[in-house]
Amino acid sequence: CTVLFYFLLLHSDTGRPSCNRCDRRLSCDCSRGGFTRVPMVTDRALTLDLSFNNITEVTDVDLTGHEQLRALSLHGNRLVVIDPSAFNSLWSLEELDLSDNQLTALDPRWFSKLGALQQLNLLNNPYSCIGSAPVFDGLVRLRRLAFGGPALREIQRGALSGVSQLEELTVHANNLTRYESGALAYVWPLGRVTLSLHGPFLTDRALASSVLADVSYPETPMVLEDLYLIGNESVKPFYETAKRRVRYITFRNLFISDETIVRLLVVVNGVPVISFIVDNVTLTGEGRWERANWTDHRAVDEFVVRNVVVLDVFKFVSFLQLQFLLQYPRKVSVINSKAFVLPCPTSSLLMNLQYFDLSDNLLTDMTLTETLCNGNGTLKDLRVLNVSGNALKSLSTVSRLVTKLRKLTHLDISRTDYSFMPQSCPWPSTLRHLNISGAKLTTVTPCLPTTLEVLDLSNNDLKDFTVALPSLRELHLSGNKFLRLPPGNLFLNLQALTIQSNTLNMFDRSDLQSYKRLSNLQAGQNKFVCSCDFVAFLQSTIKGDGDVQLTDGEESYVCDSPLYLQGEQVGQVHLSVVVCHRVLFVSVSCGVALFVGVLLCILLWRLHAFWYIKMTWAWLKAKHSSRRRQRLRDDPSSDALLTFDAFVSYSERDEHHLFSGSCSHSEAGENSMNPRPLQPLTLCLHKRDFLPGQWIVDNIMSAMERSRRTVFILSENFVQSDWCRYELDFSHFWLFDGDAGGDPAILILLEPLSKDDIPKRFCKLRKLMSSTTYLEWPKRRREGRSSGGVSATL
């Protein structure tokens, strides 16, 4: 138990944070999370990004169990210690980034088990020497290696021992002071090499020459960074590259004088340099190029100058004497160099030009006219022209200048000041790709060439598109003000449509079906109204149903309305049946409500609820008139207002019992109502004394108010009679309610009737029958052997 406890204690993850930011592709982005230790992630992760945290140590158990991991980034942490066996379980690791940390030494044991490693970045760590131990021995599959930094002082002969070939080698050695010849010469083939040798080119040019000699091969592109070349001595290391016939040279972050440029051109004179690229260059001097005119650079096929800054520009003459460099290249780029004009080339210049990039300069319509020789077709082989990012304002001028360029296929006039498109424009029949994005166009006209296959009108102010382009395969309309998709019948061959960041609210399957060949759509980052139809359609499209694929990702489609769904991804929205099938829901609800209402009415009828409602109304009315009745009864003179001795409530079916005799039923009920031995009684009978046309409730209440007593002739017919129920209902509360002040009713049982035969809703009547004396109709009268009637009984 003790051994097990200590084992669990040593291998427990107590105190380790966790990171759950993993997507469906098992890519875990734990960057900028403030972690001080390697966090726990799923052991199924394929990529793990731990960059820009505060991790100082990687222990032997931090990465245990990640055998499937393909890429690991620890860039930008504070790593000081890495356990020798920290990466031993990462058998499948292909990419490892340990750059920008605090590693003072490189331990070969870190990489001893990483046989599958293909890319390793060790830049900007404070180790000062590399090669004292075979750090990369065993990394036979390594293809991209980057090492060095401000602290690197020494590169020894065994630096790349074990590395057989590389696609890319990057060495930052700006402060290098010692280099053993041949240290970087063991790698072949070498695809591309990038060297930062600022210090050696300034203070130890022999060291710089030695480094260049080891990595110079004719087919290996060389990139030289952070150089300060002033004076003839500074170009001496390039004799090594010239001697080895290097064909691809790129300078990046270069500070150079015009004199040094001339000297460099002399050094590489006759060398078959195919590509000459200068990026981010600061130029000083007066622009004197005479000595370079006799050099031969006819092998140059690509000439690129990007981001040029000229110091003391007012003292600088020009670049015109360097025009000879443009005599042979097929690809010329002068980008972001503040060029406002290039003179029209002579017959010997730019004759082979196929790619011409003058983007991000100071060209205007007038100076572009000079550069393109007023549209006379001098640049007859030109296929690609890029004049984007210049101060151009007339679209018709550009179309006129390129009309005679019979081989032109690509034209980029984006990020200009075009605000108007004329109705018609001349274009070369070969034009296939046109980019007018980032302008200020508000309408589209038939000026567009019908031969286009790719058209980019992004980031304008367009609201609709009504021009037919039957050959178009790609259309880019992002960043405009479209409310709906353009009509598909205008683009018979359109295969890809990009319409992001517009004011598009929704689209449906019918919109996409109008495009006969559309397969890729990017319509995200719009203000979508998440209706039921749109949500259902888009979710099915995201799943791959249909011929059109959304290639910009599910996360780009976000609801803007209704308000309660704002910010939700359309693919994650779940709308209720109430929202999506409102008519059906209302219909079903009404049907259910009607059915429930019918059932409720039947239930209420069975439970005599309607009777209770009527009784409530009768009770309220009786209460309202109770005081009046009480005053009438208490007033000695009220006898004059009492018209009847009794109000008789009976069933018409019992008339032959009640009013039988020598007279007919009607006569007995209407004329023979006086008892023989007693004083005459005045009875109120509904058939005789109710006022015609008056509401029956008012007749009953009036009869009761004008009668001293109320007589109920109870029988089975009485209980079933609607008339009797009305009379009993509306007299029930005030006759049997002590508060109403009514005199007790007289109950006469015409036939044997127990209280159980009385409906339960007549609760007080049932109670009175069990607690109050009532009369029974004589049996012989029930049998019809007497001619007496109600009067006689009373």
DSSP assignment string, 181-233: TTTT-S--SB--EEEE-HHHHHH-HHHHHHHHHHH--TTS-EEEEEEEE-SGG
Whether 668 is in a domain gets the answer no
Distance from the Cα of residue 132 to its chain's centroid: 54
What is the CATH number for 99? 3.80.10.10
The angle at the Cα of 237, spanning 233 to 242, to the nearest 5 degrees, equals 120
Q: How many CB atoms lie within 10 A of CB 132?
A: 12
- What is the average pLDDT across 98-116? 94
Is the pLDDT at 186 greater than 90, yes or no? no
- Boundary-marking domain end, from 117, 146, 175: 146
Of the three residues 110, 127, 146, the one that is the final residue of a domain is 146
Q: What's the average model confidence in pLDDT over 229-246?
A: 94
Mean pLDDT of 572-584: 83
Tokens found for residue 252: 């990046």
CB 114 within 8 A of CB 89: no
Q: Output the DSSP codes for 470-484.
A: TT--EEE-TTS--SS
Is there a domain that residue 127 lies in?
yes
Cα–Cα dist 63/47, whole Å = 12
Residue with tokens 């049996």: 779
Residue 256 falls within a domain, yes or no? no
Assign 315 to helix, strand or coil: helix
Q: Is the pLDDT of residue 582 over 90?
A: no
Are 742 and 735 contacting, i.e. CB atoms less than 8 angstroms apart? Answer: yes
Which runs of E-coded beta strand occur in 137-177? 144-148, 154-155, 168-172
Return phi, psi of residue 344, to 5°: -55, 125
Could you tell me which residues come within 8 angstroms of residue 693 by beta carbon, excluding any fewer than 6 positions away?
A: none
- Name the pLDDT band for 607 (thresholds 50, 70, 90): confident
556 is a domain residue: no
Whether 462 has a pLDDT exceeding 90, the answer reads yes
3-state helix, strand, coil in the chain (%, to 5): 30, 20, 50
Q: What's the whole-model pTM score?
A: 0.73
Q: Is residue 730 predicted with pLDDT exceeding 70?
A: no
Q: Is residue 728 situated within a structural domain?
A: yes
For residues 391 and 220, give the distance between their C-alpha atoms in angstroms, rounded to a whole number: 39
- Per the listing, tokens 């409906």 go with 759
Q: List the single range of 240-244, 448-452, 639-643, 771-775 with lowest mean pLDDT.
A: 639-643
Of 128, 146, 164, the one marking the end of a domain is: 146
Classify residue 634: in a domain, yes or no. no
Whole-number Cα distances in Å, 772 to 111, 450, 707, 736, 747: 111, 109, 21, 12, 9
pLDDT digits (tens, 9 = 90+) for 240-281: 999 999 999 999 999 999 999 999 999 999 999 999 999 999
Sign of CA dihedral 93, 99, 101, 102: positive
- In the chain the first and final C-alpha atoms are separated, in Å, by 107
The residue segments making up the domain with residue 104 are: 26-146
**pLDDT, tens digit (0-9, with 9 covering 90-100), for 493-550:** 999 999 999 999 999 999 999 999 999 999 999 999 999 999 999 999 888 888 899 9
**Cα→Cα distances 155→185, 197, 445, Å:** 12, 13, 64
Q: 4-11, long-range: CB within 8 Å, 24+ apart, which pairs?
A: 11/61
Q: What is the rounded CA–CA span in Å between residue 387 and residue 436?
A: 11
Report yes or no on 428 lying in a domain. no
Residue with tokens 């991804």: 569
Rounded to 10°, the helix 722-735/609-634 angle is 50
Residue 376 CA to residue 280 CA, distance in Å, equals 34
- Average pLDDT of the residues in 343-363: 83
Residue 34 region by backbone torsions, left for phi larger than 0, else alpha for psi between -120 and 50, else beta:
left
Q: What is the mean pLDDT of residues 359-363?
A: 95
CA dist 216 and 500 (Å) reads 47
H or E element, residue 402: helix 395-402
Whether the pLDDT of residue 574 is over 60: the answer is yes
The encoded tokens of residue 527 equal 């203000």
d(CA 166, CA 187): 7
What is the chain's alpha carbon radius of gyration, rounded to the nearest angstrom? 53
CA-CA-CA-CA dihedral for 274, 277, 283, 285, to nearest 10 = 0
- Confidence at residue 553, expressed as pLDDT on a 0 to 100 scale: 86
Helix, strand, or coil (residue 400) = helix
- At 316 the pLDDT is 83
- Cα–Cα distance, 352 to 360 (Å, whole number): 23
Express each pLDDT in 325-350 by its tens digit.
Answer: 888 899 999 999 998 888 887 655 66
**In this structure, are residues 263 and 289 in contact, taking their beta carbons and an 8 Å threshold?**
no
Nearest to 425 by CA among 455, 391, 460, 450: 450
Phi, psi of 269 (to 5 degrees): -60, 125
Q: Which CATH number do you get for residue 707?
A: 3.40.50.10140
Mean pLDDT, the chain, as a whole number?
85
In this predicted structure, what is the pLDDT of residue 729? 59
CB 183 within 8 A of CB 131: yes
- The confidence score (pLDDT) of residue 671 equals 43
Please give the pLDDT value at position 6: 43
The answer as to whether 135 is a domain residue is: yes
| Structural domain count of the chain | 2
Q: Specify the pLDDT at position 664.
A: 33
Cα 390 from chain centre = 36
